[in-house]
Amino acid sequence: MKVAIFLVSGSASRFAETGALSGVLHRVLRGVSSTYGISSRERAQWNHNPKEAAVSDAAARLVVVEVTTRRENAPAYDAYVRTMIDRAAHEARETGWDVTQLSAADLGVSGLLDAADSADAIIVMGGEDIDPQFYDGERGYEGESYHFEIADAAQIELVRRAAATRTPVLGICRGHQIINVALGGTLLQHVEAPGHRVTDLPVEYALVEHPVRLERGSRIAERFGREHILVQSAHHQVADRLGDGLTAVGWAHDGHIEAIEHESLPITGVQWHPEGLLAPTGQLRVLLDGLAAETRAQLQRS
């Protein structure tokens, strides 16, 4: 396992003063042997299909949905989330999408549904824990974050409408969990096993690199061209009981679910962060190309 340090502007000096940063950097620079025989060179060699690079001759409309644009009490975490959301949106534009970024908390349920009404595809990004009321859970669990109930409700309804209209959806981290909850699934509220996030630094400063095993024959395994990949994660919750029509297609070393697909709809969720700054080269592009292929198929059917 590797710890990939993701420093937010202005934060390095504070951790250097305490010695925490230098200690983590020491652990990183020692290096760790590849897991499942994946070399550093192989990390960048994904099964990229050039034919899937462009969405269509006329740019398809992609909506990238985040939780909120307002985290006045958590500026470091907001900067961390913002950087990855902007990277995903930028990469999508580079591959030919007409991208619109929307905030679920700012728009609410009806506002988000209206703003995303013309979307050809949707990406639901990472962020805070989903309020347990949406999956019959209870508050007061270990590691509980602040909740944005309006954003939760809006994103859940957006995914449900996408399922009804066969609009392709990609969920990342929290977005992966939103998909599961929207379709009737539940979450394991706190992962006790190590290896899913760094516990001695705030989440905005570090991601954990770990292996994921993909289901042979799954859409995601075919896109990556392999059954074992390395990913970057920073989460303490995972999908538990799966929602209607969903199947697990990726697992961490401890058996926790890391990727899901819908059996008949163009819906995919990944628990990790392909948009992380230190994520394996090309990993986000593979998932965007898969989303583009699903979008083209749906547009051709309509």
Express each pLDDT in 201-248 by its tens digit: 555 456 888 999 999 999 999 999 999 999 998 878 899 999 999 999
What pLDDT score was predicted for residue 153?
98
Tell me the Ramachandran region of residue 94: left when phi exceeds 0, alpha when psi lies from -120 to 50, beta otherwise. alpha
Most confident of the ranges 13-27, 131-145, 264-278: 264-278
What pLDDT score was predicted for residue 57?
45
Domain 2-301 CATH class label: alpha beta
What pLDDT score was predicted for residue 285?
98
Residues 6+ apart with CB under 8 A from 87: 275, 277, 284
- What mean pLDDT comes out for the span 259-275? 98
CA pair distance 101, 104, nearest whole angstrom: 10
What's the mean pLDDT when you consider all of the chain? 82
Express each pLDDT in 273-297 by its tens digit: 999 988 999 999 999 999 999 999 9
What pLDDT score was predicted for residue 206?
63
CB atoms within 10 A of CB 109: 17
- At 75, list the tokens: 């500026």
pTM for the complete prediction? 0.81
What pLDDT score was predicted for residue 25?
34
- Is beta strand 246-251 parallel, antiparallel or unpaired with respect to 121-124? unpaired
- At 33, list the tokens: 């042997």
What pLDDT score was predicted for residue 72?
87
pLDDT for residue 76 is more than 70: yes
CA pair distance 156, 171, nearest whole angstrom: 11
Q: How confident is the model at residue 259 (pLDDT cuts 50, 70, 90)?
A: very high
pLDDT for residue 302 is more than 80: no
The CA-atom distances, in angstroms, between 159 and each of 102, 123, 183, 204 are 14, 10, 8, 27
Cβ pair 274, 258 in contact under 8 A: no
- What mean pLDDT comes out for the span 2-31? 34
CB atoms within 10 A of CB 87: 17
Is residue 206 classed as helix, strand or coil in its secondary structure?
strand
Residues assigned a catalytic role? 173, 273, 275
pLDDT for residue 21 is more than 60: no
Q: How confident is the model at residue 190 (pLDDT cuts 50, 70, 90)?
A: confident
Choice between 46 and 50, residue whose per-residue pLDDT is larger: 46
What pLDDT score was predicted for residue 277?
86
pLDDT for residue 89 is more than 50: yes
Domain residue ranges in the chain: 2-301
- Is beta strand 169-172 parallel, antiparallel or unpaired with respect to 121-124? parallel
What pLDDT score was predicted for residue 194?
54
What pLDDT score was predicted for residue 73?
86
pLDDT for residue 271 is more than 60: yes
Q: How confident is the model at residue 143 (pLDDT cuts 50, 70, 90)?
A: confident
Start-to-end CA distance of the chain, whole Å, equals 45
What pLDDT score was predicted for residue 208?
85
